[in-house]
Structure 1
Amino acid sequence: MKYIIILVDGAGDYTIESIGNKTPLEVANIPNITNLAQNGEIGLVQTIPVGMQPGSDIANLSVMGYAPEKYHTGRSPLEAASMGVPLSDTDITFRCNLVTLSEDKPYQEKTILDHSSGDITTEESTQLIETLSKQLQTEFIKYYPGVSYRHLILWKNGLKSSTYDFDLTPPHDILGQSISNYLPKGPHQELLTNMMEKSYDILKNHPVNVLRTKKGLNPASSIWIWGEGKKPRLDSFKEKFGLAGSVISAVDLIHGIGILAGLKPIKVDGATGTIHTNFSGKASAAVKALLDGDDFVYLHLEAPDECGHQGNLQEKIESIEIIDHKIVGPIKTALEEAKEEFKVLILPDHLTPIKLRTHTSDPVPYVIYDSRTNSKKSDNRFTEKSAKESGNFFLTGPELTSYFFK
């Protein structure tokens, strides 16, 4: 038996007046996922534990079967694992976004316009991080370039001089707002805020940003520090579930969780984490991994989440349709043609509603399909409403994951 989880990041939403008080999942043309729903099981799952923030780190740990209450030590150390950055038990890591701030007013009164600097390319952002590293790096503060706008700061031995009492805000939570109330707070607020302010002075006239501005693209005008954490430890996925497998994603967060769990990270050329990612390449990589001997693949697709953060309704709908057409359909067909028995679980990790442009803790819809029981059972659809009406509900992600692997 082969198992695949297809994680459509942020695909869930609230009803939207401009599309007839429906959600993107309700209006999207997704015949392949609909077929799986009608021949399988649908329901809701609470991926975010009560009292925890609805971050992708917490949600994906949950969906992969690791209770965040037990295993979560922060977002950035999971990304560090994917980036190959070794951590000691006394190190602190931070997520370092490249963001676009308004050009008016003093730094601490600026507005955050874009949490991703217009989906800046990895090639461009690496140049910016390397420049910041040369000018801001110290014996204890290190900068590491990642993918697109997502990067890492390491504070060596930070726990030896820190109370680990940080109050940091994800930039995608405050889009369009003044940063004045959301700058770092806590005992080390001056250290972190100074780095952010200095980064603006260094980056505002950087050649990469000058060229982006000429092209009408958002410049990466500042870093934004958040997602603090310390060295994590996950139990072996194979020992936990009896399965060996891989993770496929464009983002370090997902690969990092996989690496720490003992899963193989598979990187796909052209995988960007946006609507312009190499969807077909990801599908092919998943099929190859399963047919080459993997029991399990965790396939993460970031595009709907990014569209939600941008408030782009049409592209969110389009990204869901592309996933149906270029991911779900081809994978199902390939496994059937190979005469493999397989189970598929499709779900978001959290909602990313268009009107909010950030994550919420609402339960998310899921679909489970088992190729061994392929006969139409219902008029189920992969929508928030249909999932709720099914009456099926899992209190936690790990409970759903264990049920899926039965």
Structure 2
Amino acid sequence: MKYVVILGDGMADDPLAELGGRTPLEYADTPNMDRIAREGRCGMLRTVPEGFEPGSDIANLCILGYDPRTFYTGRGPLEAANMGVALRDGEMAYRCNLVTVRDGKMEDFNAGHISSAEGAELLRALDAALGKVRVYPGVSYRNLLVVPGAHGAGTTAPHDIVGQPVAAFLPRGDDAEVLLDSMEVSREVFADHPVNLRRREEGKTPATGIWPWSGGTRPSLTPFLEKYGLSGGMISAVDLLNGIARLAGMEVIRVPGATGFLDTDYEAKARYAVDALDRLDFVYMHVEAPDEAGHMGSVEEKVRAIERLDEAVGIILDRPDTTVAVLPDHPTPVRCKTHTADPIPFAILGKGRDNVCAFSEREAAEGSFGLMQAPDLLPLLFSR
């Protein structure tokens, strides 16, 4: 038997008046996810333990069976692991967004979805202007800042404060001074940088500075093979997920055309997942697009992302002898444009059948699995 988890990041939502009181999952045309629910069993999953922020780092660690109370140090070091940045003793890695702050407000947490090439050009200039602090370019707006001799800081995710004044959310605590200094240097370096001059001329949003958040030291994860007795692979265009996979000794499967945004190649991800099952026992296929649409506050893009993901699900369902689970990691409601900690729906094909007819938040709440805790999902999936 082979196993696949299909994870639509941020796919869960609230009922929306513009969709006739339905959620995007209920409104979208999803025959393949509905088939998993109709021919399988459903339930609800609590992916964010009490006391933790509802981030994709916490939720996906929990779904993979790693209790954040034991394994989580911060988002930054998880991304560093995938970027090949080896943290030394006493070093702390922070996730470092390229952002747009104007008139003291967080206008855009991703600088108009700046390209990776543009971001790398800005980061090279910034790295040359900083002292001991180092910055590393990642994918689009998602980058890394490493602080030596660090002790940590209280920070806020920029996607949580879009449209709000940033003054109340600036770094605080032991590393605050070095982070604030780095942010100020970035504003000076980026102000008249050729990348931003071109972006303004083209009517695009400039990157006005960096925003460091969720720092931590290198964690140590129990190897996936040791934990479950199965070989595992990860398909994602996001450094966070691939970093978790690397730390867990899972294979990171690169897919051409996977972008981590709305234009990702959904079907290519599914084809690569099917092919990977010829050599692996388990594949975790992560798609970021629904979450990006939620952060944008776009109902239309979220429905479209869910429907395109569903088409990819159909490719995986064509493979025989495969147990398939579909779920989000957390809700990203379009009304609030950020994550919430509410339980999410899940469905499994290959673990019996209940009376649920479609895959959605309301339908799954009536499923026979009831309300489960996320670390119990994979043991359930792998049980015989």
Identify the residue that residue 143 of structure 1 maps to in structure 2: 135
Question: 1:269 & 1:208 partners in 2: Cα distance?
Answer: 26
Q: Does 1:227 align with 2:245?
A: no
CA apart distance, 1:172: 0.4
Identify the residue that residue 264 of structure 2 maps to in structure 1: 277
Q: Does 1:55 align with 2:49?
A: no
Please tell me whether the aligned partners of residues 129 and 185 of structure 2 are also in contact (alpha carbons under 8 angstroms): no
Question: 2:327 & 2:288 partners in 1: Cα distance?
Answer: 12
Question: 1:296 & 1:77 partners in 2: Cα distance?
Answer: 24
Identify the residue that residue 172 of structure 1 maps to in structure 2: 159
Correspondent of 1:392 among 344, 369, 377: 369
Question: 2:221 & 2:354 partners in 1: Cα distance?
Answer: 38
Please tell me whether the aligned partners of residues 41 and 356 of structure 2 are also in contact (alpha carbons under 8 angstroms): no
Correspondent of 1:192 among 179, 192, 211: 179
User: Which stretch shifts more, 383-392 or 118-127?
Assistant: 383-392
Once the two structures are superposed, what CA deviation does each residue of 1:87-127 show, in whole Å capped at 9, x if it has no partner? Answer: 2332111010001111x3xxxxx111111112111111111
Identify the residue that residue 314 of structure 2 maps to in structure 1: 329
Question: 2:146 & 2:358 partners in 1: Cα distance?
Answer: 44
Please tell me whether the aligned partners of residues 365 and 384 of structure 1 are also in contact (alpha carbons under 8 angstroms): yes
| 1:152-163 to 2 correspondences below 5 Å | 152-158=144-150, 162=151
CA apart distance, 1:261: 0.6
Identify the residue that residue 131 of structure 1 maps to in structure 2: 125
Question: 1:213 & 1:28 partners in 2: Cα distance?
Answer: 36
Identify the residue that residue 196 of structure 2 maps to in structure 1: 209
Question: 2:371 & 2:115 partners in 1: Cα distance?
Answer: 38
CA apart distance, 1:403: 0.8
Correspondent of 1:263 among 232, 247, 250: 250
Letter in 2 for 1:319: A
Once the two structures are superposed, what CA deviation does each residue of 1:256-304 show, in whole Å capped at 9, x if it has no partner? Answer: 100111101111122111110121221111111112x110111110000
Consecutive unaligned residues in structure 2, runs of 5 or more: none
Question: 1:222 & 1:146 partners in 2: Cα distance?
Answer: 15
Q: Does 1:366 align with 2:346?
A: yes
Please tell me whether the aligned partners of residues 203 and 220 of structure 1 are also in contact (alpha carbons under 8 angstroms): yes
Please tell me whether the aligned partners of residues 394 and 400 of structure 1 are also in contact (alpha carbons under 8 angstroms): no
Once the two structures are superposed, what CA deviation does each residue of 1:207-263 show, in whole Å capped at 9, x if it has no partner? Answer: 112222222221111100101111100001111111102101001100010011110
Letter in 1 for 2:375: P
Letter in 2 for 1:318: R
Identify the residue that residue 92 of structure 2 maps to in structure 1: 92
Correspondent of 1:240 among 227, 236, 254: 227
Q: Secondary structure at the match of 1:389?
A: coil
CA apart distance, 1:145: 0.8
User: Which stretch shifts more, 73-82 or 194-203?
Assistant: 194-203
Identify the residue that residue 44 of structure 1 maps to in structure 2: 44
Once the two structures are superposed, what CA deviation does each residue of 1:343-372 show, in whole Å capped at 9, x if it has no partner? Answer: 0111111010111111111000001011x8
Q: Does 1:317 align with 2:303?
A: yes
Q: Secondary structure at the match of 2:137?
A: strand
Please tell me whether the aligned partners of residues 41 and 349 of structure 2 are also in contact (alpha carbons under 8 angstroms): yes
Please tell me whether the aligned partners of residues 355 and 367 of structure 2 are also in contact (alpha carbons under 8 angstroms): no
Question: 1:394 & 1:62 partners in 2: Cα distance?
Answer: 15
Q: Does 1:404 align with 2:357?
A: no
User: Which stretch shifts more, 210-219 or 225-234?
Assistant: 210-219
Please tell me whether the aligned partners of residues 63 and 378 of structure 2 are also in contact (alpha carbons under 8 angstroms): yes
CA apart distance, 1:156: 2.3
Letter in 1 for 2:15: T
User: Which stretch shifts more, 264-273 or 185-194?
Assistant: 185-194
| 1:16-31 to 2 correspondences below 5 Å | 16-31=16-31
CA apart distance, 1:379: 4.4
Q: Percent identity between the aligned chains?
A: 44
Question: 1:241 & 1:363 partners in 2: Cα distance?
Answer: 24
Question: 1:377 & 1:352 partners in 2: Cα distance?
Answer: 27
Q: Secondary structure at the match of 1:87?
A: coil
> TM-score, normalized by length of structure 1?
0.92
Q: Secondary structure at the match of 1:282?
A: helix
Letter in 2 for 1:127: E
User: Which stretch shifts more, 36-45 or 280-289?
Assistant: 280-289
User: Which stretch shifts more, 180-189 or 60-69?
Assistant: 180-189
Please tell me whether the aligned partners of residues 356 and 366 of structure 2 are also in contact (alpha carbons under 8 angstroms): no
Consecutive unaligned residues in structure 1, runs of 5 or more: 105-109
Question: 1:212 & 1:391 partners in 2: Cα distance?
Answer: 52
Once the two structures are superposed, what CA deviation does each residue of 1:61-110 show, in whole Å capped at 9, x if it has no partner? Answer: 001111111111111101010001112332111010001111x3xxxxx1
What is the number of equivalent residue pairs in this alignment?
Answer: 383
Please tell me whether the aligned partners of residues 42 and 380 of structure 1 are also in contact (alpha carbons under 8 angstroms): no
CA apart distance, 1:377: 5.3
Letter in 2 for 1:3: Y
Identify the residue that residue 355 of structure 2 maps to in structure 1: 378
